[in-house]
Amino acid sequence: GCRTLSLSAHVGFDSLPDQLIKKSIKHGFCFNILCIGETGIGKSALVSSLFNTDFEDSPSTHFLSSVRLRAQTFELQESNVLLKLTVVKTVGFGDQVNKADSYQPIVDYIDAQFEAYLEEELKVIRSLFSYHDTRIHVCLYFISPTGRSLKTIDLLTMRSLDSKVNIIPVIGKADSISKTELQEFKKKIMSELVSNGIQIYQFPTDDETVSEINTITNGYLPFAVVGSMEKVKIGNKMVRARQYPWGVVKVENENHCDTIKLRRMLCTNMEDLKEKTRAYYESYRRCRLEKLGCRDTGPENKPVSLQEVIEAKRLEFCLEMERKEEEIKQRFVQKVKEKAAMLEEAEQQASMPVLTKFERLMLMHQEEELKLGEKKKLLEAEIAQFIEKKAIAESIQSQVSNPVSLK
Amino acid sequence: PHAGPVESKNEAAMSELVPEPRQKPVVPMKPMGINTSLLGYIGIDTIIEQMRKKTMKTGFDFNIMVVGQSGLGKSTLVNTLFKSQVSRKSSGWNREEKIPKTVEIKAIGHVIEEGGVKMKLTVIDTPGFGDQINNENCWEPIEKYINEQYEKFLKEEVNIARKKRIPDTRVHCCLYFISPTGHSLRPLDLEFMKHLSKVVNIIPVIAKADTMTLEEKTEFKQRVRKELEVNGIEFYPQKEFDEDLEDKTENDKIRQESMPFAVVGSDKEYQVNGKRVLGRKTPWGIIEVENLNHCEFALLRDFVIRTHLQDLKEVTHNIHYETYRAKRLNDNGGLPPMTVETEENHESNL
């Protein structure tokens, strides 16, 4: 423990929070929301309503064979705060006939973001300062407004996620439930969550300035939300609302739905959500490193174990590199040999007298002449033979036709 | 050189050990739509207040080291900076004590509070620096201490189960005291700053500046700046870490005109023009420490405490520490695990 000293005059380090804030503003903030819910339950409409901005998104089909996740990043600015907001939505959740594996892609996605951060953290040369943090800070789980109870898939999914992410359950399309039914529904949901041991995010109550409002808000969970992409003219203003023949549901009216409460709670507890996400990350990291074989067996072993792993991998990699290098070298040597042989052959051919076209033709001509000369000789020989044969034949014939008296 | 291949091997190796998660949907890094102003107030800007509350609750650590020969007024200056007895003045070496053979490192921590902001301030004194006949390598114990703090932090960071907030004993700022000879920097000054400017933020100050006239001061400062530049010594704020144009303009002015700050320190108050001011009384007048006409103490104070305190910490964390870490993880077999002296060197001010 250190002794506390009193200052005799103003020093000026009370500007530290401002210095830190100035840097954070320059750097910008980021926030990542994951929306899980069935197709058509109003995820896109709610996000647009929460941030009062129309985030473009095409509606998806019901016929996807497996659950996928779609992520979009937006830059929002309010006064001097620049927020990089990433909204990840499930696509095709609850559409399959067999929903057994529905939650797996979601778990995998959340883990993948932790993994990406861990990889960056473990790099030798890393840039954590400028790393775009994609870890999910809050998960809005959309419950169907059946008015009855949670579905099995809801329980399964939330249970698989509650140790990895902050879960805020919301009732989607809540304008289809009456107020009294809603109260009963909320109570039922909360008791089911408790009895199934599912941990949902509780708004922090340790700070006195917010503990009261947070305790009250915790009592409104799950939030009954209504979202709308359309605006309706009420009086002389355009407000986000849903127009029915029997009335208009105003998204931003706290009597009509809890959308504004959700918005307020998300915004004023962003820092706490991020802090709790960091804690989830630490758990993930711990598991992951333990799986890799690192242990905190004692004060001496701490750096060595992780470093040993890194060292071992580095050696492995160096050996692999050496092997590859050798391989490439061999291939290079081979190629050089081949090329050398090729060049040698070409050189040999080149060292033969190079004949011009004319000379070639002359050669050809001479060769032809020789050949013709030979053929001519042959022909002349044949002709001579023929004449001889003819002469003999004629003389025989004349002897036959003109018998010569023998005296 | 080895950094690139190591990373990718790590990634590859990790995915061999644990089966790849089934899908890796890519989060697009570029924003899809830019909305510079929202239609109506949402409440996103409350994050600033949340940040402020959080930092006020957790408090800050700040560790400042002072280096310079004895008698240059280091302790007095630090006490004047923080308006309290954060550093114990050494009374010099009396006959019974031996001058230590090497530089000692003495770190003393105090908690001070102002405007609801709690700061744990640690002043690291380096008695014996430059006091021996042969001062070769007297920066080594200092460099060793600085690296030990990085090592301590790294050990904590690398733990499987780590603390939410790792205690930060790393040296955020090193005030190097230059003797006001009026001529030039001494070889010892250059040697020290050359070695240490690569591992820690060094802020050179000209001590006991009341021994120089205004002209002498300006010329000396110019010469010192030139010498530092010629020797490739980058003092804080380093040019390469300016984040944007705003930083660069602000820091250029400080680097090229104000630094090194010529300072005078004092813990005594005198009455001047009806006000009580900190000062040094001489036969020829009272030197007011916080009067910008007399010395640049106020500039140093504003620079270190009121404007660049957070930045000093961030440069230490994002750059010096990362450099140390990368080197440590890269070295063949790594540096031998250093024995980290923890409790012995931290005196509590009893």
Tens digits of residue pLDDT in A15-50: 999 999 999 999 999 999 999 999 889 999 999 899
Question: In this predicted structure, what is the pLDDT of residue B9?
Answer: 41
Question: What CATH code is carried by the domain that includes residue B183?
Answer: 3.40.50.300
Mean pLDDT of B81-103: 70
- Whether A81 and A25 have beta carbons less than 8 Å apart is answered as yes
CB < 8 Å to A17, chain B: 51-52, 55-56, 117
A positions 114-133 inside 8 Å of B (CB): 115, 119, 122-126, 129, 132
- Whether B143 and B195 have beta carbons less than 8 Å apart is answered as yes
CB < 8 Å to A55, chain B: 33
Q: Cβ–Cβ of B23/A109 closer than 8 Å?
A: yes
- Residue B11: inside a domain: no
Question: In this predicted structure, what is the pLDDT of residue B154?
Answer: 92
Structure tokens at A395: 């003389």
Mean pLDDT of B73-84: 90
Please tell me which of the candidates A29, A271, A307 has its beta carbon nearest to residue B334: A307
**Shortest Cα distance from B64 to chain A (angstroms)?**
14
Instruction: Give the model's confidence band at B332: pLDDT under 50 very low, under 70 low, under 90 confident, else very high.
Output: very low
**Predicted confidence (pLDDT) at residue B101 exceeds the cutoff of 90:** no
**Predicted confidence (pLDDT) at residue A393 exceeds the cutoff of 80:** yes
Instruction: Give the model's confidence band at B92: pLDDT under 50 very low, under 70 low, under 90 confident, else very high.
Output: low
- Residue B347: inside a domain: no
- What whole-number distance in Å separates Cα of residue A24 and Cα of residue B53? 14
Mean pLDDT: which of A1-5, A66-70, A168-172, B97-101 is highest? A168-172
Residue to mutate among A4, A13, A48, A118, with most B CBs inside 10 A, is: A13
Q: Cβ–Cβ of A123/B10 closer than 8 Å?
A: yes
Q: What angle do CA B160, B161, B162 make, to 5 degrees?
A: 105
**Shortest Cα distance from B242 to chain A (angstroms)?**
13
Taking the C-alpha atoms of B10, B16, B17 and B19 in order, what is their torsion angle to the nearest 10 degrees? Answer: 120
Lowest-pLDDT range of A147-156, A258-267, A395-404, B112-121: A395-404
Residue of chain B nearest A210, judged by CA positions: B50
Question: In this predicted structure, what is the pLDDT of residue A355?
Answer: 63
CB < 8 Å to B318, chain A: 129
Question: In this predicted structure, what is the pLDDT of residue B20?
Answer: 35
Structure tokens at A336: 């050089």
- Residue B9: inside a domain: no
Please tell me which of the candidates B24, B42, B322 has its beta carbon nearest to residue A51: B42
Mean pLDDT of A187-212: 90
**Shortest Cα distance from A311 to chain B (angstroms)?**
7
Residue of chain B nearest A123, judged by CA positions: B7
- Residue B24: inside a domain: no
The mean pLDDT value of chain B amounts to 81
Q: Which residues, 6+ apart, have CB-to-CB distance to A244 below 8 Å? A: none
Mean pLDDT of B320-347: 60
Mean pLDDT of B293-318: 93
Instruction: Give the model's confidence band at A262: pLDDT under 50 very low, under 70 low, under 90 confident, else very high.
Output: very high
Question: In this predicted structure, what is the pLDDT of residue B39?
Answer: 63
Q: Which domain holds residue B277?
A: 57-88+96-330
Residue A81, SS3 per DSSP: strand
| B24-41 pLDDT, tens digit each | 333 334 444 444 445 678
Measured in degrees and rounded to the nearest 5, phi and psi for residue B107 equal -110, 125
Question: In this predicted structure, what is the pLDDT of residue B237?
Answer: 92
Residue to mutate among A3, A6, A10, A11, with most B CBs inside 10 A, is: A11
Q: Cβ–Cβ of B54/A271 closer than 8 Å?
A: yes
CB < 8 Å to B111, chain A: 2-5
CB < 8 Å to A272, chain B: 50
- What whole-number distance in Å separates Cα of residue A265 and Cα of residue B43? 10
Q: Cβ–Cβ of B337/A303 closer than 8 Å?
A: yes
**Shortest Cα distance from A14 to chain B (angstroms)?**
6
Strands B202-206 and A231-234: unpaired
| B157-187 pLDDT, tens digit each | 988 888 888 999 999 999 999 999 878 888 8
Identity of residue B324? Y
Mean pLDDT of B335-349: 38
Instruction: Give the model's confidence band at B95: pLDDT under 50 very low, under 70 low, under 90 confident, else very high.
Output: low
Selection from A29, A85, A31 nearest residue A55 by Cα: A85
A positions 216-255 inside 8 Å of B (CB): none
Q: Cβ–Cβ of A81/B47 closer than 8 Å?
A: yes
Selection from A23, A51, A80, A42 nearest residue A267 by Cα: A51
Q: Cβ–Cβ of B43/A263 closer than 8 Å?
A: yes
- Whether A31 and A166 have beta carbons less than 8 Å apart is answered as no
- What whole-number distance in Å separates Cα of residue B113 and Cα of residue B83? 12
- Residue B249: inside a domain: yes
Structure tokens at B64: 């400042």
Q: What percent of chain A has pLDDT over 90?
A: 41
Q: Cβ–Cβ of A270/B50 closer than 8 Å?
A: yes
Residue to mutate among A35, A78, A127, with most B CBs inside 10 A, is: A78
Selection from B37, B306, B226, B218 nearest residue A13 by Cα: B306
Question: In this predicted structure, what is the pLDDT of residue A135?
Answer: 95
Selection from B171, B65, B109 nearest residue B346 by Cα: B109
Q: Cβ–Cβ of A12/B47 closer than 8 Å?
A: no
DSSP one-letter code for B126: -
DSSP one-letter code for A257: -
Question: In this predicted structure, what is the pLDDT of residue A6?
Answer: 86
Q: What percent of chain A has pLDDT over 70?
A: 89
B140-158 helix and B187-196 helix, angle to the nearest 10 degrees = 10
CB < 8 Å to A26, chain B: 243-244
Q: Cβ–Cβ of B22/A29 closer than 8 Å?
A: no
A103-122 helix and A270-291 helix, angle to the nearest 10 degrees = 80
Please tell me which of the candidates B34, B54, B155 has its beta carbon nearest to residue A302: B155
| A350-388 pLDDT, tens digit each | 776 666 677 888 888 999 999 999 999 999 999 999 999
Residue of chain B nearest A286, judged by CA positions: B160
**Shortest Cα distance from A63 to chain B (angstroms)?**
19
CB < 8 Å to A279, chain B: 164
Q: Cβ–Cβ of A20/B310 closer than 8 Å?
A: yes
Question: In this predicted structure, what is the pLDDT of residue B30?
Answer: 41
Q: Cβ–Cβ of A267/B35 closer than 8 Å?
A: no
- Residue B301: inside a domain: yes
Counting the structural domains of chain B, the total is: 1
A positions 302-331 inside 8 Å of B (CB): 302-304, 306-307, 310-311, 313-314, 316-317, 320-321
Q: Cβ–Cβ of A296/B51 closer than 8 Å?
A: no
Q: Cβ–Cβ of A16/B119 closer than 8 Å?
A: yes
**Predicted confidence (pLDDT) at residue B3 exceeds the cutoff of 80:** no
Please tell me which of the candidates B9, B34, B112 has its beta carbon nearest to residue A313: B9
Strands B346-347 and B106-114: parallel
The Cα-based distances of B137 to A196, B140, B142, B196 in angstroms read 66, 5, 10, 12
Question: In this predicted structure, what is the pLDDT of residue A179?
Answer: 86
Secondary structure element (H or E) that encloses residue A349, with its range: helix A301-351
Question: In this predicted structure, what is the pLDDT of residue B67?
Answer: 94
**Shortest Cα distance from A192 to chain B (angstroms)?**
30
Question: In this predicted structure, what is the pLDDT of residue B149?
Answer: 95
- Higher-confidence residue: B272 or B297? B297
- Residue B323: inside a domain: yes
- Higher-confidence residue: B102 or B26? B102
Q: Cβ–Cβ of B21/A108 closer than 8 Å?
A: yes
Instruction: Give the model's confidence band at B333: pLDDT under 50 very low, under 70 low, under 90 confident, else very high.
Output: very low
| A150-199 pLDDT, tens digit each | 999 999 999 999 999 999 999 999 988 888 899 999 999 999 999 999 99
- Residue B42: inside a domain: no
**Predicted confidence (pLDDT) at residue B253 exceeds the cutoff of 70:** yes
Mean pLDDT of B196-219: 92
